[in-house]
Amino acid sequence: MSQQTQPVSTRTATVKRSHSMRFGTLLKENGRVEFRLWAPSCKSVQVTLSYGDYESSIALEAQGDGWFVGTGKGKPGMKYKFVTDDELPVPDPGSRYQPDDVHGFSEVVDPTAFEWTDTDWKGLPWSQTILYELHVGTFTPEGTFAGVVSKLDYLKDLGITAIELMPVADFPGKFGWGYDGVLPYAPESEYGTPDDLKRLVQEAHHKGIQVFLDVVYNHFGPEGNYLHAYAKEFFTDKHKTPWGAALNFEGRDEVREFFIENALYWLEEFNIDGLRLDAVHAIKDDSDTHVLDELAKRVADGPGRNRVRHLVLENEDNIAKFLGRDDSKQPELYAAQWNDDIHHAYHVLATGESGGYYADYVQNTGGENTLALLGRALSEGFIYQNDPSELRHGELRGEKSNHLPPNAFVSFIQNHDQVGNRAFGDRIASISNDNILTALTVVQLLAPSIPLLFMGEEWAAKTPFMYFCDLGPELAPLVTEGRRNEFAKFPEFSNPETRHKIPDPCTPKTFQQSKLVWSDLNLPIHRQHYQLIQSLLKLREETVVTVMDKITSGKALVEGEILTVIWSAAEKPVLAVALNLSDSTQNLTNSEQKLSEQIEMGNLNILYTHKIDAKAVNPNNMPPYSVLWLIEK
């Protein structure tokens, strides 16, 4: 499907959207509001109401199983706080809006006040998805939802079909990555109001762009989480996570419901097209039905079942069972998983770095080098499929994934983690071999997995994206020290004086320096890279997307310095790539892949060449840093 015919939403009608749930407030008739709180650690709960000169306090009635419910005079815009039986004022964990940040009053919101005009939007097929990950606060100078709206035409012209917002659930302070959010239902007030986020989603749909949201269901942040004060049962000591006690998905249905309802809330009330679930390997659940299974099934059967929705996982453990397909090749639970394996292979090849977790991608225990490992990721998905990991001291990692289609994996050369978790937030364009990086980009954007670009990558931005957070005076020094100590194991940071040069994540300067510099796009070198990305995405949409759903298998082979990968349907080749990342011409002589024969037999035609004369293609003779793409006739 070409960009000219890509579905967009018209403005022919309006509809009101809201998600009915047990958490949060419920607007009732006659100017009244129902307030609800699950507080099993409390014997009594009150709610303090504030609206202009009007202030009052009402006692909530115990309903059993830890629930407290009460109704009072109120309307949209009213501020409120719950007060526990030890007189601690706390925000509503189901708050739809926190205008005064995570420690302030919650605000009553009427979700039906926003009139949606994207009523005919049905979403896009997963195979047409081209993801663009962005951080709302640093993507534009404004750092707001409205700022993102102002760039939608730019993204459409680039060829993006889906933006993926890093978490927007309300987090403490004026800036942060969002992974330390504490109020999952409230869009971050620094970015705008709930209606501002809805307007972003709506305007994206009118331009034919999906909106994905990164959600965090594995922990709460360290500041502003009051659940321990009135709902200790929300957590369990049975499991541990990197952030402390695990969420109690096994012991209390209310905990499962809180997060499942959150997913449904974003999909229905905000008409979001897809969710990316962060670090699900840290979601501990030994129940008969894992919460991830239940969540996916509830989404499939939920209010949005009549239009396309996509669920994506980040899972360090490479668990393939969540990615299965049914007889019609549609996802049974989750559409895809972020494939860290392919990123690590790309990174080692582009930079030569081999420390930390990159050590597993220089050579595996089977003796395969990085080029071969990249071939495995391109053709089979995961590199580690029940294989021993040296980084994990020989422990087996992953499940078999070669039965899954390529679009069960989201691939990327960089993302927020792989940039921001570096000491100085270096983007790959600042640390890589340019020739190799460009060749890998050509591979990445035409491969049949789902591609993801990190904001600014399209013009090879070199502005850093660093880790930043705005925590209170008690936590901030600990975070600063902890961040710098994380790098003590690296030789270049063994000296405390050197570690002190690592930017302080808790200062506004670090946040401001992480903002994209849009004027760089006007520089010839960046404009040239942008045009390359734009042309590749257009070619992808017009050609690769048409064959992706046919692919049933992939095979990779390394001969000398050349990697070839062929993707087939019923043993008939439909897509192929040959890649030479060396600085010298390489010859294919005994390759089992025989790309030249496929061309001669008319099975494959030339799709794209990089550093190869398209009029004199010889796949057995690959120039330095060259890429050859072939596609079925």
What's the confidence (pLDDT) of residue 596? 81
Give Cα 86 to chain centroid, integer Å: 39
Give me the half-sphere count of Cα atoms (radius 13 Å) on the Cβ side of residue 192. 17
What's the confidence (pLDDT) of residue 394? 82
Residues 558 and 487 in one domain: no
Across the range 13-37, mean pLDDT stands at 93
Query: What does 604-622 look like in DSSP terms, one character per residue?
Result: EEEEEEESS-GGG--TTEE
**Distance between CA 630 and CA 606 in Å, rounded?**
5
Element (H, E) at 186: strand 183-187
What's the confidence (pLDDT) of residue 585? 93
Q: Is the pLDDT of residue 556 over 90?
A: yes
Q: Is residue 416 part of a domain?
A: yes
Residues 486 and 560 in one domain: no
Residues 313 and 401 in one domain: yes
Structure tokens at 580: 């030479």
**Distance between CA 76 and CA 72 in Å, rounded?**
13
Q: Are 439 and 629 a contacting pair, CB within 8 Å?
A: no
**pLDDT tens column, 437-481:** 999 999 999 999 999 999 999 999 999 999 999 999 999 999 999
**Angle value at C-alpha 597, between 596 and 600, nearest 5 degrees:** 90
What's the confidence (pLDDT) of residue 2? 42
Residues 594 and 457 in one domain: no
Q: pLDDT confidence of 247, banded at 50, 70, 90?
A: very high
User: 534 exposed, middle or buried (CB, 10 Å; 0-12, 13-18, 19+)?
Assistant: middle
44/488: higher pLDDT: 44
Q: pLDDT confidence of 1, banded at 50, 70, 90?
A: very low
Across the range 341-346, mean pLDDT stands at 97
**pLDDT tens column, 583-613:** 999 987 766 567 888 888 888 999 999 999 8
Residues 518 and 558 in one domain: no
Choice among 175-184, 301-310, 607-616 with the minimum mean pLDDT: 301-310
Q: pLDDT confidence of 8, banded at 50, 70, 90?
A: confident
What total number of domains does the chain contain? 2
Q: Is residue 538 part of a domain?
A: no
529/329: higher pLDDT: 529
Q: What are phi and psi of 196, to 5 degrees?
A: -65, -40
Q: Is residue 543 part of a domain?
A: no
Q: Are 209 and 162 a contacting pair, CB within 8 Å?
A: yes
**CA end-to-end span of the chain, whole Å?**
17
Q: Is the pLDDT of residue 109 over 60?
A: yes
**pLDDT tens column, 361-417:** 998 877 889 999 999 999 999 999 988 888 787 888 899 999 999 999 999 999 999
Structure tokens at 438: 């460009």
Q: Tell me the C-alpha to C-alpha distance, in Å, between residue 39 and each of 63, 184, 248, 341, 506.
A: 11, 17, 15, 42, 33
Residues 465 and 350 in one domain: yes
In which domain, by residue range, is 582 found?
Answer: 551-632
Q: Is residue 458 part of a domain?
A: yes
Element (H, E) at 586: strand 586-587
Last residue of a domain, one of 507, 525, 543: 525
Residues 510 and 581 in one domain: no
Q: Are 619 and 595 a contacting pair, CB within 8 Å?
A: yes
> If we measure between CA atoms, which residue out of 90, 52, 100, 97 comes closest to residue 68?
90
Across the range 188-216, mean pLDDT stands at 98
SS3 content of the chain, % helix, strand, coil (to 5): 30, 25, 45
Across the range 101-122, mean pLDDT stands at 95
What's the confidence (pLDDT) of residue 244? 76
Q: pLDDT confidence of 258, banded at 50, 70, 90?
A: very high
What's the confidence (pLDDT) of residue 593? 65
Structure tokens at 303: 């209010």
Residues 561 and 453 in one domain: no
Give Cα 84 to chain centroid, integer Å: 36
Q: Tell me the C-alpha to C-alpha distance, in Å, between residue 415 and each of 134, 335, 339, 457.
A: 9, 19, 11, 9
Q: Is residue 492 part of a domain?
A: yes
Cβ-based neighbours of 578, under 8 Å, separated by 6 or more: 562, 563, 564, 588, 595, 619, 622, 627, 628
To the nearest whole number, what is the mean pLDDT of the chain? 93
Q: Is the pLDDT of residue 3 over 70?
A: no
SS3 category, 46 = strand
Q: Is the pLDDT of residue 4 over 60?
A: no
The residues that are catalytic are 278, 314
Residues 591 and 506 in one domain: no
Residues 600 and 487 in one domain: no
Give me the half-sphere count of Cα atoms (radius 13 Å) on the Cβ side of residue 314. 18
Q: Are 183 and 170 a contacting pair, CB within 8 Å?
A: yes
Q: Are 370 and 345 a contacting pair, CB within 8 Å?
A: yes
Residues 556 and 519 in one domain: no
Q: Is residue 24 part of a domain?
A: no
Q: Is residue 155 part of a domain?
A: yes
Q: pLDDT confidence of 125, banded at 50, 70, 90?
A: very high
What's the confidence (pLDDT) of residue 355? 84
Domain with 621 in it: what CATH number? 2.60.40.1180
> If we measure between CA atoms, which residue out of 567, 575, 581, 562 comes closest to residue 620?
562
Q: Is residue 343 part of a domain?
A: yes
Q: pLDDT confidence of 172, banded at 50, 70, 90?
A: very high
Q: What is the dihedral of CA 479, 482, 486, 487, to 10 degrees?
A: 90
273/74: higher pLDDT: 273
Domain with 146 in it: what CATH number? 3.20.20.80
**pLDDT tens column, 277-295:** 999 999 999 999 999 999 9
Residues 233 and 380 in one domain: yes
pTM of the model: 0.96
Q: What are phi and psi of 441, to 5 degrees?
A: -65, -40
